[in-house]
Structure 1
Amino acid sequence: MMIDLYQAALRARNGASGFYNDNVRIDTAGGPVIVRIPLAGADSMDLRIWPEQEVLAALAAHHVTHVPRLLHTSRHPAFQVHEYIPGEVVDDIAPRGVRLPPVVPHDVVDLFAQLATVPRDKLPALPTDWPVDGDTPAFASRLSRVTEGVYATFRQRFGALFTALGVPDEPLVPVLTRWDNLTLRPFVLVHADVHRKNMILSNGRVVFLDWELALWGDPVYELAVHLHKMSYLDDERSAVLGRWANVMPPTLLRGWEADLETYLAHERVKSAIVDTVRYSQLLTGASFNADDEHHLIGKLAQKLNAAGEIWRWAEPIMEERVAALVHQAID
């Protein structure tokens, strides 16, 4: 019975944890499966509108490839059972700075093109106040309101650290002033979280995991989130942009180049805010060796400096300064 898998996963808890779910491999007589269990009390720092299982069911019905099969879902207790995808996590074989297997950027664009064909009426119901189709400024405002909410929620606890790291009192202002200039563009289904740790290279193709952040929204936002999180090499980035522009329908390409930069500005600011909180929490709640901690601090410094360009910092912040300030805040 499926509940037995859930109980086994609770006992094992030996899977990979994301920010919102535990993923536990359980071996069964029919082969391994993944039991996906929501993390109780996880801080919500992203826009979420649909239960993941409903998105996966819609994708299966529309025959979208590159997606794991949903085998079972339960509300009480809350868990899902997904097919186990044999293969390698892309981040393990090609972390940032390492050239990707050519199939990865190819399949990313292939996925985006497939998602653009999923009809709205085949997807779960939208929130009643969701922006009307094509209203990209309203869609973008929903994104930034979530980021503003994260900043407001954690400002009391991390306010001194934010200030010391150079985060302005109103960090979203440089982004909000650009939303009204977005081009109106039809909405499509977007994954909204395609990055190296959410991809498995399996039998020569890529399977994309973690659909909990899927949205009905601007396809250029999808592209921006992906580019921001992937950190492609320059030629890989150019190839992805070129192929994306060639395969997407013309109606989705209006004004995309300028709007891509606008969405990227939001993602850089969001990362600086969210990851200041998340990384500080990680360093507080876990034992890291010196190399792991150095890597985490280095990533945070990169994210802060990327946002610093949006905030027009006079000079970048050094890793040593970031490390000292974070330790001062959490010690």
Structure 2
Amino acid sequence: MSQPLPRSTLRGHHRVWQVLRAEGELAPPGRLKAGLPRPGVHRFDPRCFTNEEDVLVELAQLGMKRIAPVYRLGPGDMRVHGYIEGEPLSVSRPPGTALSRSEIAQLADLFGQLGTIPPAALERVHACPSFLRPYTSRDFLRGLVRFTRRRVYAVHGPALRGLFHALRVDPAVLAPTGPLVRSAALLADRPFCLLHGDLHRDNLIVAEADGMLWTIDWELALIGDPLYDLATHLHLMRYPPTQEHAVLTRWARVMEGQLPGSTAGLSRDLPRYLAYKRVQSVFTDVIRQAHLVRATPPDELPEQLGRAGELVSAALRGAARTLGLGKVPGPRAVEAVYAAFSAVPTAPSAVPAPAGRAATRHAGP
């Protein structure tokens, strides 16, 4: 979630945080975090709540363990978070490495706590009108695909159409008649609960005091199908294959005990949610890297192009089956596409295809 910057500043995906030393009546809790929105940050995920602070306050009243406290400063509406002293789990357990048994147990307990929080418990701070909310797992996944189609691709795609074409990403995969929406019609129904929505190694803090995991960054919290939270977690955590099965087994046992029916259709429906997450990552990464490449100074551009090549190629590889890609462009080919894109800022549609034409099976109609 955070990256150290000068003067005790942390850069999150959605906000920049100033870490402050508490004084006066707030001194006992220790350090505090005050967040400001990052200008120019684009939204790639739906949200159910206007403010992360609203969610944290409600969760504290519901007895949720190991989350940051929220304090109100002064007579206005400024709210700050208690700072969790420690380091992200990604420092000691980088992506691709296994977690300890204790850490897996704590994550299962976190999912179990979320499973006990029904939609009605957060009705007071829910930002979506009731008539626009999904109430079945099928509608929930349809809504996710629709959000990516309308609020991600439709917003950014027209200016980047040439880039998507060069990478052989067919937006028809997001269409109402595309493979993701068709698979949504096959989902089993599961009861809804609170979802974290972004549970990965950088959003889990290993506390200095006792080594326990604290959960931060509730910006993308949702009310919805618990299987989506699991799919997002598995997609972002990158467990070793040998440990992923143990995580699944532990999740299913805990969730079925806390929220009966939450594991219905698990083996069939988890791949459907994972397919969506992988496709969503492609659209998100292609767009984010395009903006980064355009904003990078010339002397730093080669390094940024290399990062874009590695990241986008990996995302394409993960979603290749759903996208209908016969051959996935490698990092060097993707880097060349972005280099051409950066050289033609006013005409992205002129970006050439990568060398070695890849056979493509259309993902949509």
Common fold: TM-score over 0.5? yes
Structure 1, residues 155-197: CA drift from partner, whole Å, max 9, x if none?
Answer: 1211101011110141222211111111111101001110111
Q: What residue is the counterpart of 1:327 in the other structure?
A: 339
Aligned counterpart for 2:224 among listed residues 217, 221, 227: 217
1:198 aligns with one of 190, 198, 203 = 203
Aligned residue in 2 for 1:271: 281
After TM superposition, the structure 1 = structure 2 runs for residues 91-102 of structure 1, keeping only pairs within 5 Å, are 91-102=90-101
Q: What letter is aligned with 1:170?
A: A
TM-score (norm 1): 0.89
Distance verdict in 2 for CA 1:204–1:311, change over 3 Å = same
Instruction: Rate the CA distance shift 1:138–1:34 in 2: closer, same or farther, 3 A.
Output: same
**In structure 2, how many angstroms separate the alpha carbons of the residues matched to 1:80 and 1:155?**
36
Cα RMSD (Å): 2.2
Quote the residue 2:138 is aligned against: 137
Contact 2:293 2:304 in 1 (8 A): no
Q: Which stretches in structure 2 are left out of the alignment for 5+ residues?
A: 1-5, 344-365
- Residue 87 of structure 1 is matched in structure 2 by 86
Unaligned runs of 5+ in 1: 1-11
Matches of 1:304 and 1:76 in 2, distance apart?
46
Out of 302, 311, 319, the position equivalent to 1:299 is: 311
CA contact (8 A) 1:13 1:22 kept: no
Task: State the 1:312 CA deviation.
Answer: 2.3
Aligned CA distance change for structure 1 residues 297 and 13 (closer, same or farther; 3 Å): farther
> 2: distance between equivalents of 1:19 and 1:301?
21
- CA deviation after TM superposition for structure 1 residue 240, in Å: 0.7
Q: C-alpha offsets along residues 124-179 of structure 1, whole Å, 9 cap, x if unaligned?
A: 2342224354x111111111111102111111211101011110141222211111
- What's 1:153 paired with? 155
Q: Deviations over 1:275-294 (max 9, x none)?
A: 11112222332455866653
Matches of 1:322 and 1:196, distance apart in 2: 27
Q: Which has the larger radius of gyration?
A: 2
Listed one character per residue, the Cα deviations across residues 18-38 of structure 1 (whole Å, up to 9, x for unaligned) are 332112211233231111222
Cα–Cα, structure 1 residues 73 and 179, in superposed 2: closer, same or farther, change >3 Å?
farther
1:122 Cα deviation (Å)?
2.3
**Superposition deviation, residue 264 in structure 1:** 0.6
Q: What percentage of aligned pairs have identical amino acids?
A: 31
The aligned length equals 318
Q: Distance in 2 between matches of 1:48 and 1:94?
A: 28
Moved more, 101-110 or 184-193: 101-110
User: SS at 1:262's partner residue?
Assistant: helix
Compute the displacement of 1:86 (Å).
0.8
**AA at the equivalent of 1:330:** S
